[in-house]
Each structure stands twice: as C-alpha cells, then as structure tokens.
Structure 1
Amino acid sequence: MSKMRNLFPEIEPFDSGKLKVSEIHDIYYEQSGNSDGNPVLYVHGGPGGGTSARDRRYFDPEAYRIILFDQRGAGKSTPPAELRENTTWDLVEDMERLRKHLGIEKWVVFGGSWGSTLSLVYAETYPDHVKALVLRGIFTLTRRELMWFYEDGVNHLFPDLWEEFVALIPQGERGDLVSAYYRRLTSDDDEKRKMAAKAWSKIELATSCLLVDEELLAKAEGDLWTQQFARIETHYFVHGGWFYSDDQILQDVGKIRHIPATIIQGRYDVTCPMEAAWLLHKKWPEADFHVIPDAGHSAKEPGILHQLMEATDKYKDL
C-alpha cells in the first residue's frame, strides 16, 4: 500500500441552514469547500448519529462542494430524537428535497454503516441523480444482521460488555432485546429512557473499532446524543427499515450497477460483519471492492480512512 493518507485540514462551512421537511421536522444542512465544485453528500450513520466537523474532511475542499445534513431527529435537526414521521422513506425524500433546494442535478453520495444503507436506498430510488457512491462498513438492515449484533454474535466476542447490555432487561424479555430496549426508550419514565439510551449506545461504540476507543466511548455518557442515537436506531430496527422485503437492498442492486462505486469493508468489523459487504460485492461486481485486513468498523481505522480518501479523490472530477 502507498503512504497512508489522512483527512484534509479543518474547514468551516460557507453556508448552513434548516430545511422544513414536514409539519414536525426541520433538518440541518451545511455546505463547505468549493461552492462551484463537484457536489458530494455525506450521509451519517446510526440512524440517529448526526454529523460533525470531522465529516467535512474526507473531501478535497478545492474540488468538492461538500454537503452535510443531519437526518430527522439527529444532530442539529429538530425536534431532537423525534420518532413521528421518521422512516427510511422520509429520509430518502428529505435527501431529494435537499438536492432540489440546493439546485443540484447530480451528486456523489458518501455513507458508512447506516449511512451506507440510506445511500444505497436513495440511489436505488433516484439513480439518475447519483454520480457515484462511496460506501463503508456495509449494513443492509436484514434480520440476520440484527440477530448477529443484538441476539447471538457479539456476545461471543464481548461477553463482558454483553453482560452490561442485558443487565437492564429482565430474563423474560431477552428473547427480543431490540424490542425490549425500544419499550424502555419510548417509555414515559425519563430516567428509564436515559439508562437504556446509555447502555444501548455503549455497546455499539465499544465494538466499533478494532481496539476499543476510549474517547469515542465517552459519547455514551451524554444524555442528548444517546437519546437521539438509541431511540432512532431501535425505532428503525423494530420496523425493519420499512422495507418491502428483508433483502430489499440486494434485490434492487440492478437499478444502480451502472453507477461508479467503491465499497470499503473492515475484515474484523463486529458492528456490521463483512458478510453483507460480500453479498453486495457479489451482486455488484462492477463496484471497486476493498477489504481492509487489519480494521474493524470505524472510519477512523487507518486502512479504511486511506481507502476512503482514495475513493473521494477518484470521483472528484466527475
């Protein structure tokens, strides 16, 4: 491998605002980089994770018009952690509303983890408006993927963390932990919601890197972010993403096989195991496919970050 690449320097937005997308929701968006550059949309994870200043730095600011947005209920979007009118299809339409609002004909779409899910569904819905896709840590929101993380998979690798995770849930409810957590996260009891949000967030943050990142893990102590993250995630998971079939994303790949794409996957990704990325690769052999041999899930892993930077450079002149 060539010299490992790092993020571009810090940059401030030249524009930011709120877009009203429903009677309930206003979504935050911002633009940075070159206002006349190649438009690229950063799609954050979770669902419910929100964006940060770091997310602007995957893209050459001289070449790209860099657009970030917070999905419904996440980040700076309002109201925070709101579950009403908050589905995958609402988010897909929000992305399309934002594209039209900004006067963009086609853009590059970049997403990791849940961001890869939403990017794929958006592209499969509006393929004519996508120039290229950069996808990392593939998650297709199948029952099999959810069972791995929340029923029988992660517990074999992290029994210590798993013990903490299930401690909040009585034995009789442990047959469906996602639903058990969802009940607590939608409870009228504020303290119960906070405890559940922190426990839910902690196990995901702890397992997202090849080695536990203590700085990242500290996010699990906050009240607002954990409520946004945990409430919205469980809301999406108990509803199966509102997909028409469990494997909708893979079934619809034929709609986007003509779009240039790069798929980047950590070999030891515990959060979103490589099987989903492999199945996507098999359905979409035209896409560049990179397996990082010494990486987990996080975009901060050096090998994953390097390939992300290479991919955004590849598509900057489209």
Structure 2
Amino acid sequence: MEEKYILINGRNVFVKQKGEGEPILFLHGGPGGSLEYFLPHMEPLAEDFQIILYDQTGCGNSAVEEGHTYSIADEVNNLEEIRKVLNLEKMTLFGESWGSILALSYAAKYPEHINQLILTAAVGLSSNDYRAFKQNLLQKLGVYKKMLLGWYSFSSLFSINASSKLEELLDPYYVYSSDSLKKKKEISYNKNALKNIGKELEQHYNLIPSLPELRSLPILIAQGSHDIITPAYLEGNVLTHLPNATLTEIEESGHWTILEQPEKMEKLIRSTMLTKGADAQIHV
C-alpha cells in the first residue's frame, strides 16, 4: 500500500492508497480517530477498486499546528482539497460513525463530486440524532457506570491511565460480542478533535436544510443490528428525510461493523460499488 503526505491547507495529511479503478475514499470515526481502524479489513477491496484512506487533521500521522480549532467545516474543506490533489473528479465516500457525518456534510456541499455514499455506524442528520446516540449509550451504562464515566472523562484530561480505563468501560457497549474486542487495534485519539467537534455536533449539527442536495445521491446505510443508534431509529428518524437511501442491517454487530463483520462489510461494499447504489439492499 502506497503511503505519502500531501500538503492540504498548509498541513501535512497522511494518505494511504492501493489499487486501481473507481475510487473509494474512507472516512474514519472519532472525531479524532485514525485510518488504521479500516486496516487490514478493507484492503481486499483494492483488488477491484482504488481505495484511499487518510488521517484527518491532527489524527494518526497527520500534522496540526498548535491551537488549531477543529470543526466540521474545516474537515469538509480538507476533504475537498484532498480530492483536488488526488485528481478525483467523482468518488464514493465510505463514512464510519463520525465519518458518516463528515461524508454527509461533504456531500451536502459538493454533491457534484459524489458517485454515492456508503455509511456505517451512522449517527444521523442533526444534533438531535447525535444527542440520541449519547443518551442511548448512557442508558446502557446504568447509574454506577455513569458515575465512573464522568470520573474517567475528567481524569483522562490528565492521565493516560484514565483514558485507558475510559475505553475499557465503554468499549463493550460498542460491540455485539465482547470477543470482538480481541481484534481491536489500539488507536491514539486526538482529544481536542473529539472535544471540539463533539461540542459542535451536540449544539450546531444540522443537515436538514441540505436535504435537496442529499436526496439527489445514492446512499446506502449499513447499520449493526445492535448499534447504539439502531436500524429502527434510522428508519423512523433518518430515512423519512432521505427516501433515496436504503438501509441494510448487519446482523450480529454493534457500532463497529468493520471490526465485527469485516467479510460482510467487504461483500456489501463490493456489491454496492458494482450496482452503483441501485437495488443494493442486501440481507447480510
């Protein structure tokens, strides 16, 4: 897999590319995660397509200047510059979790550069959906673990050990089977990206005014059967706004579909790419 840095808006962005053919650009979660989440699970797609992965601003191996203010708009602008530098006229965006929000936000602004959107661990279209995600997660935790969550969240600002404890507390609620956590890569998160973009998502995220643009595009949502935002929630709160979108339930999976059901996700992505989003609702 080719690795390189490209200069985007004065910052070095780390990119991995492999394969030829129609481009699929992967958007990792977080906010503040890393492209490593997708590897090696999605690499087999390079047999038939050009796969492109990158670390978002200040994440993974990508640089950031001190005091950078993270925002959805900034990440959308960075993605557009990446498209230009890589000379991609149109592309398929694959967005996971926060990456699904970034994919939708980019597509709302630049629909002319999108072939289709493939989203997994989708959160939704507005701050209401993001708050529902947080509320659903908190309900799963219970009173005692909520107290621990508050303590670890505060302590993690000062202690790497507390950050580790926070992951240990939350990770089991992101998966269908705790055995899946044995496959989980240790990824260092950018706390500033998580904090700043998380606050924006909770208070100002709203793509409802951009529905005309989003309705012009093929969209497939692959949601884990036991995700924090359930397929039923998406049916009632997201697909009602996006009649052009199809929803596929990924059985025996929580929020991390790539981790728990990589073969199913690869099969679904491959099928969706070959059908260009048409009749792509497949039972997996």
- The normalised TM-score by structure 1 is 0.74
Secondary structure in 1 matching 2:17: strand
Deviations 1:29-65 (A, max 9, x none): 121012xx11110111111111126166266323211
How do 1:1-318 and structure 2 match up within 5 A? 13=1, 15-23=2-10, 25-34=11-20, 37-52=21-36, 54=39, 57=42, 60-79=45-64, 84-140=68-124, 142-148=126-132, 150=134, 152-159=135-142, 161-168=145-152, 181=154, 185=157, 192-195=158-161, 197-212=163-178, 213-215=180-182, 219=186, 225-226=188-189, 228=190, 230-240=191-201, 243=204, 246=205, 248-270=206-228, 272-274=229-231, 277-278=234-235, 279-299=237-257, 300-302=259-261, 306-307=264-265, 309-316=267-274
Deviations 1:47-100 (A, max 9, x none): 1111126166266323211111110011111149x6614211111111111111
Is the Cα–Cα contact under 8 Å of residues 225 and 254 in structure 2 kept in the other structure?
Answer: yes
Is the Cα–Cα contact under 8 Å of residues 267 and 293 in structure 1 kept in the other structure?
Answer: yes
How many pairs were matched up? 271
Deviating more after overlay: 85-94 vs 249-258: 249-258
Structure 1: gaps spanning 5 or more residues: 1-12, 170-180, 186-191
Q: Provide the C-alpha distance between the structure 2 equivalents of 1:157 and 1:50, rounded to a whole number of angstroms.
A: 26
Q: Provide the C-alpha distance between the structure 2 equivalents of 1:258 and 1:55, rounded to a whole number of angstroms.
A: 32
Distance 1:108 1:149, change over 3 A: closer
Q: How far off its partner does 1:153 sit?
A: 3.5
Residue 125 of structure 1 aligns with an amino acid whose one-letter code is K
Is the Cα–Cα contact under 8 Å of residues 125 and 238 in structure 2 kept in the other structure?
Answer: no
Is the Cα–Cα contact under 8 Å of residues 87 and 242 in structure 1 kept in the other structure?
Answer: no
- Which residue is equivalent to 1:188? none
Distance 1:284 1:305, change over 3 A: farther
What is the percent sequence identity of the aligned residues? 22
Is the Cα–Cα contact under 8 Å of residues 209 and 295 in structure 1 kept in the other structure?
Answer: yes
Structure 2: gaps spanning 5 or more residues: 277-284
Q: Provide the C-alpha distance between the structure 2 equivalents of 1:83 and 1:133, rounded to a whole number of angstroms.
A: 32
Q: Provide the C-alpha distance between the structure 1 equivalents of 2:140 and 2:81, rounded to a whole number of angstroms.
A: 42
